[in-house]
Amino acid sequence: MRVIFDLFRDGLSAIESAANQMALARQQVVTGRRISVASDDPLGMQQAIGEHATIGAIDAYTQTRDSAAARLSAADSVLNSMLDKLSAAIVAATDARGSNVDPAARAAASAAVRGLQQSLAGDLNTKFNGTYLFSGTQSTTASYANVGGVWTYQGDASTVQLEVEQGRLISVTFDGQAIAQGSDPTDVLTALNDLANAIDAGDNTAIGAGIDTLNRAFDRTNRAIGRLGADERTVDEAATRLSALRLAADGRRSHLEDTNMAEAITRMTTAENAYKAALSAVSTAERQSLLDYLQ
């Protein structure tokens, strides 16, 4: 068989092939990326896009979860504050009830109740990041307004919900009327007003009715705190899950996209050696022929 080595065609082809391999290996080491274009690994590319989408979704849920946690925390704080105020009002009313309470004590008690009412109205109209927490979905409107001496609920019964995980909704605004009034004929603010008037008048029957109303408001607030606490736990658990999911997705993404450095450096070294070998082989390929031996 006649064996012919074409220096330019075969030699350059071998050098180019080795150089391409070396360049590819170098690129992977330098960029740290296993996939630079889709054709590097089409299936890997497809999966990596999926992982990026998953990570994007997890990050969005995490952002939402953080927002929900902040709102729930604020609402929790406000509801506990309301609880304290209701307790204080009940204590004040209880102290003012009876036949041996002097007018000055009643005046002080009624003043305290009126002060607590104002403070409670402030609680119910709490804003967080510019939106009212207790107006349902009417979050740009104050929950309660005193219009012509009558306290009026201006929100609605719906709530703003945030999706903290896929399919898991958490309410981050509240139906203020459900807390402040429930099934009572009057809301707690009106009830406090009536209670203060009853204390001023020394009307023990009305004071007793007012205390009962406050106790029911206390219970409703307590139940709201309980529900909110459950939501806070859900949100906390979501944080743990989202963090774990993020870590796992990032690991999968890295496995698909990032260069295995040890492997890439080994491949680069091998490619460099192959390149040098190709250069050497080509440079010596036609160094000698029979012509060198002819006299």
Partner 1 sequence: MSGLFASLTSASNALNAQRAGLEVVGQNLANVNTVGYTRRVVDLAELAPADAFSAGRGVEVLQIRSLRDLYIEGRLRREQQGVAYDTAVVQGLSDVEGAIGVPGSSVDGKIDSFFTAFSTLANDVTSAPARDGVVAQGKALAQAFNDLAARLVESQQNADTAIGGAVDQVNQLAAKVAQLNDQIGAGGPGLEALRDERDVALAKLSDLAGVDVIQRADGLVDVTIGQGHALVIGASSFALDASPAAPSGFLRLSSGGADITSQITGGRIGGLLSVRDSVIPGYQANLDQLAFDFAGQVNALHQTGFDATGAPGGNFFAPLAGVAGAAASLSVDPNVAANSALVAASSTGAAGDNGIARAIAALRDAKVMAGGTATAAGAWAQFAYKVGLDVSTAQASMQTRGSIVQQLQHLRDQASGVSMDEEAAHLMQFQRAYEANARYFSTIVQTIDTLMKMVE
**Interface residues with partner 1 (CB under 8 A)?**
1-4, 6, 8-10, 13, 33, 35-43, 45-53, 56-57, 59-61, 63-64, 67-68, 129-132, 135-141, 156, 158, 160-163, 166, 173, 253, 257, 286, 289-291, 294
Cβ proximity to partner 1: between 104 and 290 the closer is: 290
28 exposure class (CB count in 10 Å sphere: 0-12, 13-18, 19+) = buried
Cβ proximity to partner 1: between 265 and 285 the closer is: 285
**Min CB(73)–partner 1 separation in Å:** 15
> What distance in Å separates the CA atoms of residue 159 and residue 137, rounded to the nearest whole number?
5
Residue that is written with structure tokens 């004071």 in the block: 207
* Alpha carbon distance, N-terminus to C-terminus of the chain: 26
Cβ proximity to partner 1: between 61 and 218 the closer is: 61
Cβ proximity to partner 1: between 165 and 187 the closer is: 165
Cβ proximity to partner 1: between 36 and 273 the closer is: 36
Q: Tokens at residue 144, please?
A: 């309660």
**Min CB(140)–partner 1 separation in Å:** 4
Closest CA to 211 of 109, 78, 100: 109
**Min CB(230)–partner 1 separation in Å:** 21
Q: Distances in Å between the alpha carbon of 202 and those of 62, 118, 137, 279?
A: 55, 22, 41, 109
At position 15, the amino acid (one-letter code) is I
Cβ proximity to partner 1: between 33 and 241 the closer is: 33
At position 220, the amino acid (one-letter code) is R
**Min CB(34)–partner 1 separation in Å:** 10
Query: DSSP letters of 209-236?
Result: HHHHHHHHHHHHHHHHHHHHHHHHHHHH
Cβ proximity to partner 1: between 216 and 255 the closer is: 255
**Min CB(265)–partner 1 separation in Å:** 21
**Min CB(241)–partner 1 separation in Å:** 15
Contact indicator for 41, 35 with CB cutoff of 8 Å: yes
Contact indicator for 114, 193 with CB cutoff of 8 Å: yes
**Min CB(274)–partner 1 separation in Å:** 16
Bridge-partner residues for 171, per DSSP?
A: 161
Q: Distances in Å between the alpha carbon of 1 and those of 5, 38, 86, 285, 289?
A: 13, 44, 106, 18, 17
